[in-house]
């Protein structure tokens, strides 16, 4: 058994779903997500540096 995770644009979902069904992939979980880029307000910290806002 293999687990595949993919980010697919909404307008391509039906084509991908159809293609996966043709090769006998029967189970999938679909989640709608939003956002991209750096998140403001989160703090990034490494062990050698002081925390800095991103």
pLDDT for the residue numbered 44: 64
**Contact at 8 Å (CB) between 9 and 16?**
no
Task: Say what the pLDDT of residue 38 is.
Answer: 65
Pairwise pLDDT comparison (32 vs 37), residue with the higher score? 32
pLDDT value at residue 4: 86
> Given a cut of 80, is residue 31 above it in pLDDT?
yes
Tell me the pLDDT band of 26, cut-offs 50, 70 and 90: confident
CB 20 within 8 A of CB 28: yes
Torsion sign (Cα): 21, 29, 31, 36: negative
Quote the CA–CA distance of 10 and 4 in Å, as a whole number: 18
Question: Has residue 37 got a pLDDT over 70?
Answer: no
Question: What's the predicted TM-score (pTM) here?
Answer: 0.55
């Amino acid at each position: 058994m293999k687990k595949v995770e993919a980010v697919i644009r909404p307008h391509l979902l039906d084509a991908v779903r159809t293609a996966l069904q043709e090769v006998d992939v029967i189970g999938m979980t679909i989640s709608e997500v939003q956002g991209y880029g750096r998140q403001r307000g989160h703090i990034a910290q490494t062990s050698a540096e002081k925390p800095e806002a991103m």
